Amino acid sequence: MVSKRIYVDHLTKVDLFSEFSRKDLEKVAAAGVHMSFPAGTVLIHQDGLALEAFVVLSGEVQIKRNGRNLRTVGQGAVLGELSLLDHGTRTASATCITDCDVLVLSAGQFGGLIEQTPALTHKLLTSLARRVRDLDAKSYG
């Protein structure tokens, strides 16, 4: 089995984890599961229950909302990361348009990691605050 440390480089690109140290990211990687999906697989169904996030290791994924194409993402993209925090419903659908390898992070595993390492909570809040500020600046200038 390949060491899960190889996933850390992918996790460094995830905005939600921007405040995490390499050691923190190694813990996140250890909690994830590598999975492969063929082209055409729907990873996320809009309005579906959010129980996991996906970090794209290879391949391309089409994101749609209300049937409208929003964008295509590839290596380093994260899908459904807010589900790790709120277990809400999905705001868009995500379908593999090529064969894809992903690191699946379950909300349960991630929650356990946060409970074991409470300092990660502060790092997550800092990342989320930065995202809100960025969205505010884009929306209102």
CB burial readout 50-84, b (16+ within 10 A) else e? bebbbbbbebbbbbbeeeeeeeebeeebbbbbbbb
Q: What is the pLDDT of residue 41?
A: 98
Question: What's the pLDDT at 86?
Answer: 86
Phi and psi, residue 56, nearest 5°: -75, 120
What is the DSSP code string of the chain? ---GGGGHHHHTT-GGGTT--HHHHHHHHHH-EEEEE-TT-EEE-TTSB--EEEEEEES-EEEEETTEEEEEE-TT-EESTTHHHH--B-SSEEEESS-EEEEEEEHHHHHHHHHH-THHHHHHHHHHHHHHHHHHHHHH-
Give pLDDT, residue 101.
Answer: 96
State how far the Cα of 88 lies from the Cα of 16, in Å rounded to an integer.
17
Could you report the per-residue pLDDT of 8-51, keeping only the tens digit for each?
988 988 888 889 999 999 999 999 999 999 999 999 999 999 99
Structure confidence at residue 99 as a pLDDT band (50, 70, 90): very high
| Tokens encoding 74 | 């590839």
Average pLDDT score, the chain: 90
Q: What is the pLDDT of residue 84?
A: 83
- Confidence band for 6, pLDDT divided at 50, 70 and 90: confident
Spell out the domains of the chain, with CATH numbers in brackets.
Answer: 4-108 (2.60.120.10)
**What pLDDT shows up at residue 3?**
61
